[in-house]
Structure 1
Amino acid sequence: MSFDPAKPTLLCALVRHYDELVDYVRRRFGDRGAARDVVHDVCLQLLERTEKEDVRTPLALLRKISHDTAVTRFRSEHRRASWLQPVSELPEVACAAATPTARYDAEQEFQLLVDAIASLPPRCQAVFVMHKIHEIPQAEVAQRLGISVKTVEKHLRLGLAACRALLGR
């Protein structure tokens, strides 16, 4: 990507208004360090995609992109934090070793899941792995595969049913 100062681009606008964008995100979400990270993420997004022509108000668009990126980051951090359970004291044993029988049972169950996923039709398997294993949102899976979100939901139902059937649940 070449930079032509005569032709304003979103990336040039981001560089020109960097501090303003950081302050904008900080005022809305409170943390200056996180605000810098958000603006850096926006910069990466701009570098990774082709730029749209004829952006009339690049600062407004950058604010919108920054806000959306900050909301997405906040939601994922909130979701991640909800998975963690605070512990006032550490247990004496960090991890109790699994018994050989428990390990064998877990390996058998894992192999059943692998076999269930492998037995799915190719499109269904791709949808299931993208969403359940790689945690890609359904809308993005649909976009990447060129199918509707309803079709993604159908494939996920079929995949879950196959896994449950092989596990006997």
Structure 2
Amino acid sequence: MTAALDAWFVEEILVHEGALRHYLARHWPNVDERADLRQEVYARVYQAAATELPRHPKAFLLTTARHLVVDRARRGKVVSIEPMGDLEPLHVLVDEVSPERWCGGRQVLHRLSDALDRLPARCREVVWLRRVEELSQREVAHRMGITEKTVEKHIAKGMRLLADQFLGGDDAWPRTRRDAGADHRDADDDARHAD
């Protein structure tokens, strides 16, 4: 199997090295790391092909490269919270959370929870998926079976209502008949776009 896999790899994957180099040149800014990325892509493709050969080798190669670039970029954004050395000589004061600060944070979370609960149902779901679960606009639209334009409308409305709630207090936006009908209008918009 290894000899057959090696032959397949040479004939179906290595022939696309130029495309892979071009992709990495466009999507990875650090020139010094591109060779390592290319080798890791090859290793991942080879390992996956040992289980099952992909039907479209070039597409599989470039998709693997895309996933690797995204993973590396995501890891690059993570900031380590481990101390880098002894902070005592720097006389850095660690800010302990005072009871007042803790209580204030709890109050803000409670107000946010109340404000989210007061949003119209579909608007609340869109805001939750988009802002808390961090789904893309397209993923939210797909999951809820609505258009991306409707997702945009719900986000804009939800953010406006939440801002009003925080800036204007508890009675900033009582639920009106216009708000109650918004979900029905959005459903009508989705039905028109689905045709």
Confirm or deny a common fold (TM above 0.5). Answer: yes
Q: 1:39 aligns with which of 10, 35, 44?
A: 44
Distance 1:144 1:34 in 2: 36
Secondary structure at 2:64 match in 1: helix
RMSD: 4.1
Give the direction of change, closer, same or farther, for the CA distance of 1:165–1:70 in structure 2 (3 Å limit): same
In the other structure, the counterpart of 1:145 is 144
- Matched residue count: 138
Distance 2:71 2:98 in 1: 39
In the other structure, the counterpart of 1:4 is none
Alignment-mate amino acid for residue 146 of structure 1: G
Contact 1:109 1:167 (8 Å CA) reproduced = no
Q: Which runs of 4+ in 1 moved over 3 A?
A: 24-34, 87-95
Higher helix share: 2
Contact 1:117 1:163 (8 Å CA) reproduced = yes
1:89-123 C-alpha deviation (Å, 9 max, x unpaired): 66446842222111111111111111111111222
Give the direction of change, closer, same or farther, for the CA distance of 1:84–1:116 in structure 2 (3 Å limit): farther
Q: CA deviation at 1:39?
A: 3.5
Q: Percent identity?
A: 23
In the other structure, the counterpart of 2:112 is 113
Q: CA deviation at 1:68?
A: 2.6
Provide structure 2 residue ranges, at least 5 long, that are not aligned to the other structure.
25-33, 169-195
Distance 2:73 2:149 in 1: 24
Secondary structure at 2:134 match in 1: coil
Q: TM-score, normalised by structure 2?
A: 0.53
Provide structure 1 residue ranges, at least 5 long, that are not aligned to the other structure.
1-12, 48-54
Q: CA deviation at 1:64?
A: 2.7
Alignment-mate amino acid for residue 98 of structure 2: T
Contact 1:138 1:149 (8 Å CA) reproduced = yes
Q: CA deviation at 1:72?
A: 2.8
Q: CA deviation at 1:159?
A: 1.6
Contact 1:128 1:156 (8 Å CA) reproduced = yes
Alignment-mate amino acid for residue 100 of structure 2: T
Kindly report which structure 2 residues correspond to 1:1-169, keeping only aligned pairs within 5 A, or say none: 17=9, 28=24, 29-31=34-36, 35=40, 39=44, 55=55, 58-78=56-76, 80-81=77-78, 91-92=87-88, 95-168=94-167
